[in-house]
Amino acid sequence: MNATILLTDEIERDLEFVMQSRPKGDLFLRVHPYIDAYLRKGLNSTRMKWFWKYNKWIRIIPHSDYQLSEYRFFVGNDDEIRLN
């Protein structure tokens, strides 16, 4: 569980960076299915907290080919947001 919390902290830091650039269009986050379940868990989920914080719905898409710690942000029609 600790590794998941550290990973979600990293995702949130990158999300903060992405949101500062004010992406136009829908924002998607692709993650491993396990991380997807963690981010959606409960009524007060991490995803819901992001919605209230950024006033934007982040669509989370599970991707079974991803490694547990792999995640990517996309905007609009599958345009990947490069973070590095």
pLDDT tens-digit readout, 7-66:
999 999 999 999 988 777 889 999 999 999 999 999 899 999 999 999 999 999 999 999
Q: Give the model's pLDDT for residue 35.
A: 94
Rounded to an integer, what distance in angstroms lies between the CA atom of residue 39 and that of residue 28? 13
Tell me which of 4 and 70 has the higher pLDDT: 70
The pTM (predicted TM-score) of the whole model is: 0.87
Q: Give the model's pLDDT for residue 36.
A: 95
Task: Give me the residue spans of the domains in the chain.
Answer: 2-81
Q: Cα dihedral angle (56, 60, 66, 33), rounded to 10 degrees?
A: 150
